[in-house]
Amino acid sequence: MKKMLGLLVGMAILMLYAEGASAFTLNWAPVTTYTDNTTIGAEAQGVFYNVEMDGAAASGNFSGTSWVIPTVAKKSAHTFRARTVLGTGEVSAWSPPFAWTSPQGSPAVPGGMNVQP
């Protein structure tokens, strides 16, 4: 049976900010071929992914090419891996580990300023 293309080539971390809180998203390139470069077609019955964070399963099968990292402590180190799962049940090897350390962040901006007579 053909093996699937290794995952997470060109992986990147994308930072998103919403109302002063930060969330981080793990992103990767979609898998469209087997390791012999033949195209994964409709016979595969869908291409899905699993993500592992710090050695523990972090997600079930899902079809997107990004995963929102749960809230983590500042300056904490993490390792991620992912694999491809076809709808037929074929599973790729895990990607090489991707190491990331969450940023320290910065102090919040002062708010509630006003001038009193």
The answer to whether residue 84 sits within a structural domain is yes
Task: Annotate 41-99 with three-state secondary structure.
Answer: CHHHCCEEEEEEECCEECCCCECCCEEEECCCCCCCEEEEEEEEEECCCCECCCCCCEE
Q: Is residue 43 part of a domain?
A: yes
> What CA–CA distances, in Å, run from 5 to 17, 28, 38, 45?
32, 13, 10, 17
Residue 52, CA distances (Å) to 45, 58, 69 in order: 23, 5, 11
Is 68 within the bounds of a domain? Answer: yes
pLDDT in tens, 75-109: 899 999 999 999 999 999 999 999 999 887 777 78
* Full domain range(s) for residue 31: 12-101
In a domain, 59, yes or no: yes
Confidence class of residue 46 from pLDDT cuts 50, 70 and 90? Answer: very high
As a whole number of angstroms, the distance between CA 17 and CA 52 comes to 24
Q: Burial level of 65, CB count in 10 A (0-12/13-18/19+)? A: middle
Domain count, the chain: 1
pTM of the model as a whole: 0.68
Residue 92's CATH number: 2.60.40.10
Q: Is 7 contained in some domain?
A: no
Asked if residue 113 is part of any domain, the answer here is: no
